[in-house]
Amino acid sequence: MTSIEPAVHYIHSEFVGLVEPLHEAFAGSAELIDNYLPANLRTHEHGWLRSANMRAAVRDALDASDLGDWDVRGNLALNGQLMLVNGAGDIIVRMLKDGKPPVRSVPGAGHNRARRMYWSNSLIEDVGDDALFGKRAHQMLGLWHENGDGTFEIRAVRPVGAVKYGSKTPIDLCLELAPAQSTFESLAFDVEDDDNEDLLNIHIANEENDNDASGHAG
């Protein structure tokens, strides 16, 4: 077992029970919005409105769901901020809209001091035992993208640097939260080191879907 594998194993185990409720919440919210939002407000120019409605509807859906030890948090006054916190309080997930596949982009922190602090995790390999069991919080981003068929792509990434908008956000962990779940041992477990990002790709998906899931973050 590598030095970072215990921490990654722990993070993965916390997310497994969250995958299905997240996909159900997003799919149900999209259907709800399509039913009540007029067609003239569902155009590309009004994409911001759909995103705002999605956050609100997803929050309500998650509040009514069985999330196990996870809690729904976030300051609604901050543009409907949606966050999830696990029972131990050591994994925090801030839900944001992802870039469009195949070139997905992790949002930058911008100039806001609180956002920059949130984006500035230490590398998993540098925090050692503090990466486990509540000693140090993993401040993660939950990124969602709506496909054209009513399904969603959702991933959780761990940013390790605050950059300005438009710049490449470095991450050291990417969990593809596919609707079908599997055990940690059956997941793809690869470290990539390329010109774009250093990240550990974990696919939360069943074995028959593993060949179709690239797990690559843009």
Q: Strands (DSSP E) along the chain, which ranges?
A: 71-73, 83-85, 91-97, 138-146, 152-159, 171-177, 189-193, 198-204
pLDDT of residue 205: 37
Give residue-wise pLDDT tens across range 148-159.
Answer: 888 899 999 999
Give the pLDDT score at 147.
Answer: 87
Residue 174 bridge partners (DSSP): 157, 201
Instruction: Please state whether the predicted TM-score (pTM) of the whole model is above 0.75.
Output: yes
Per-residue pLDDT tens digits for 57-74: 999 999 999 999 999 999
Per-10-residue mean pLDDT for the chain, 218 residues long? 74 92 95 86 78 90 95 89 94 89 80 92 74 68 90 93 80 87 42 40 37 33
102 upstream amide cis, omega within 30 of 0: yes
What per-residue confidence (pLDDT) applies to 143?
95
Of 11, 114, 99, nearest to 47 by C-alpha is 99
Domain ranges of the chain: 5-210
CB atoms within 10 A of CB 124: 23
CA distance 217 to 104: 6
Cα atoms in the 13 Å half-sphere on the side-chain side of 161: 12
What pLDDT was estimated at residue 2?
54
Residues 6+ positions from 123 with CB-CB distance below 8 Å: 160, 172
Give pLDDT, residue 39.
80
